[in-house]
Structure 1
């Protein structure tokens, strides 16, 4: 397995879907039409085509705000399932990839974190008599990934340990009664976040623009869109007006 294949497997376990029935064969990688369109157009589709010697085009579905790669070719779907030992259906149970080198592990993790969860920024919880920068602005970065597969989360946790990170688990929880339990890992110390940005990083502008806003302003407001962050970075709007619009 090379690095590109390892990154692809990260994408699949984050945003992928494989379905095989008697008369239906489908493989898909999908993301948000607004926030992830550039990532899919400039990163996922070109790399996918090089990896599999295909000429697929990025599909857009505005009615459901989704974009992605969709393939319904029986031979391709069966071959990709066999080559990478992919399991279809919901990702409660997954076949974990056999990664040998540190480079493969980093590429896999970047693929997974690019497509499943992200980096976000929090305020300090320390109570003070008067407002401070730390309890007013979202200045503290956290990198998080979540999945319904306990096995995958333990696998990712161990990969991070092997690479010198210090991740920690969030308590498993359900957001709604009828939903599967979510298992989460977070890295929220300055050394861990810095090590991730330097050694692994993201390829998705959805995540990278948050980092660039944080570096430029010292904090990154929550609930901003990719467009808002891009405008902040190129000076089209200022931070004060952007935060006012969010309120």
Structure 2
């Protein structure tokens, strides 16, 4: 496996990891091995995986990932046994093993390539919501996560990019449910800036954005 340099591509891939990735060490036969998995929606995210994510892992790590459908969970993606990959992500980027309750933006991307990291996170864990408001569609970009510090950081990075965002905490009363940190970008002007500056890689967002523009 190749060890990548800090770059815009690595920032985007790290955003993907923060959104939909999971890793840990597990028993594989008689050995303890690192396992990394990235999974999205079996229908909505398939193009993103086929045409962007697969390419990223080849360019960054020299890995040919095998994508597959997982009908029982409604997911599409891959799982890879690799000590090198997990060691790099955990020891160099300081991404957590197991549950991502307190995951934060890696130090390497706080001041450089932050827009690329936001792109990866949005592509996997974000929403473009079109609300019917006064007989017109009102667009909102939404990203939420149980790591409140992560979403607070993301909101600040979005604002630093010249896009106005709002951060708040959504309290959840269900037993054993964590509160959610939520960041929103609202209104046509800011959403247009989002697509110009963040430039999502997931085709589903461009399709929905085009629908919004055609309906306006």
Which structure is higher in strand share?
2
Instruction: Note if contact 2:104-2:147 (Cα within 8 Å) is conserved in structure 1.
Output: no
Structure 1: which 5+ runs fail to align? 125-133, 219-247
Partner residue, 1:203: 201
Partner residue, 2:24: 19
What is the Cα deviation at residue 114 of structure 1? 0.8
1:119-149 C-alpha deviation (Å, 9 max, x unpaired) = 111122xxxxxxxxx33x5x11100100000
Which structure is higher in helix share?
1
Correspondence for 2:95 among 70, 81, 86: 86
Instruction: Note if contact 2:33-2:82 (Cα within 8 Å) is conserved in structure 1.
Output: no
- Aligned equivalents of 1:214, 1:77: Cα separation in 2: 40
- Aligned equivalents of 2:168, 2:132: Cα separation in 1: 18
Correspondence for 2:156 among 155, 158, 166: 158
- Aligned equivalents of 1:36, 1:84: Cα separation in 2: 25
Corresponding residue pairs, total: 206
- Aligned equivalents of 2:26, 2:206: Cα separation in 1: 38
1:43-73 C-alpha deviation (Å, 9 max, x unpaired) = 1111111110111121221222111121112
- Whichever of the two has the greater Rg, that structure is 1
Structure 2: which 5+ runs fail to align? 1-5
- Aligned equivalents of 1:206, 1:52: Cα separation in 2: 26
What is the Cα deviation at residue 74 of structure 1? 2.7
Instruction: Note if contact 1:122-1:141 (Cα within 8 Å) is conserved in structure 2.
Output: yes
Tell me the secondary structure at the aligned position of residue 63 of structure 1: coil
What is the Cα deviation at residue 21 of structure 1? 4.3
1:57-76 aligned within 5 A: 57-76=66-85
TM-score (norm 2): 0.88
Tell me the secondary structure at the aligned position of residue 145 of structure 1: strand
Correspondence for 1:37 among 46, 52, 55: 46
Instruction: Note if contact 2:155-2:183 (Cα within 8 Å) is conserved in structure 1.
Output: yes
Partner residue, 2:3: none
Quick one: structure 1 residues 194 and 174, their matched pair in 2 at CA, closer, same or farther if it must change by over 3 Å?
same
Tell me the secondary structure at the aligned position of residue 121 of structure 1: strand
